[in-house]
Amino acid sequence: MSIKIEHISKSFEDVTALKDISFEVNEGELFGLIGPDGAGKTTLFRILTTLLIADNGSATVAGYDAVNNYKDIRNHVGYMPGRFSLYQDLTVEENLEFFATIFGTTIEENYDLIKDIYVQIEPFKKRRAGKLSGGMKQKLALSCALIHKPKVLFLDEPTTGVDPVSRKEFWEMLKRLQQKGITILVSTPYMDEAALCDRIALIQDGKILEIDTPQEIVKHYPKKIYDIKADKMYELILSLNTYEHNHSVYPFGEFVHYTDQRDDFNPTELIQFLEDKGLENISIQPTEVTIEDTFMELAR
């Protein structure tokens, strides 16, 4: 077991950030913590990386207790905070060298681990970190978090504010790191990224809603989902919300994801209802359940 969390709770003055959280992450697993802003993801990361002490419960990382053996944890984990937090006035190379030195190692020693990532920013190694683009900053931060060959890697919203291409590249890098035997705990508010994890935990308001593989989580969805489309999106949502049999109505890209309360839902009846409301070019199609749908359903 690479990470073991048992009944962790944490409050800040009048806000409860985490309520009785328990889960485990297997060795070599790519585990996603999925939830909106303010769900408690960062607080959990800070507890696991020994920056914060939980009010209740216990956690072990790489076999070390987060409170009693925090020094060992610091030697064996890599942490990439959500905010870029390297020295902006040092160059790419200097930053990497600095973190290598602090961990008592050298760039050469673990070069093969970061090679994939670092080669992409190596042409700019004399550039100051503050002058890098968002995607390059993120690659540098990941390189710095990996330079001491950690057993467990904590990535707190690594793709927030990063362009779609860099995001995709980043997840490919994570997959490759996973193959090298590093356990990865990653948090993200993006539901589409959840599907790339081995297992995910859906978290909201400091509580775990569900933990499973992305495939299983989707299967647990109790309803059949329909993509509904019409000319006027906003009025479509308003109209659907007034429909007496609706179970849930969420905008989803160019469609509205709709579920009905009844098991024997008949689309033609709904089309009629919408046409009466003055909507045109209505289409209703059954669709695949996504993790976002599951999350929305659980968070209701």
Q: Residues interacting with other proteins, by CB under 8 A?
A: 46, 49-53, 70-71, 74-75, 77, 79, 81, 83-90, 94, 98-99, 101-104, 144
Least Å from the CB of residue 109 to other proteins: 15
The nearest distance, CB 152 to other proteins, in angstroms, is 12
Which is closer to other proteins, CB of 68 or CB of 179? 68
Q: How many CB atoms neighbour CB 18 within 10 A?
A: 25
By beta-carbon proximity to other proteins, the closer residue of 3 and 282 is 3
Residue 81 vs 135, nearer CB to other proteins: 81
In 133-287, beta strands by DSSP E: 152-156, 183-188, 199-204, 207-212, 225-229, 246-252, 255-260, 283-287
The distance of closest approach from Cβ of residue 155 to other proteins in the complex, given in angstroms and rounded to an integer, is 13
Measure the CA–CA gap between 44 and 74, rounded to whole angstroms.
16
Nearest to 4 by CA among 39, 45, 48: 48
Match 């990535």 to its residue by tokens.
155
Specify the 3-state DSSP secondary structure of 77. strand
Q: Which is nearer to other proteins, 25 or 80 (by Cβ)?
A: 80
Nearer to other proteins, 104 or 253 (CB): 104
Minimum CB separation of residue 182 from other proteins in Å reads 16
- Rounded to a whole number of angstroms, the minimum distance from the CB of residue 230 to other proteins is 46
Longest pairwise C-alpha distance within the chain:
72
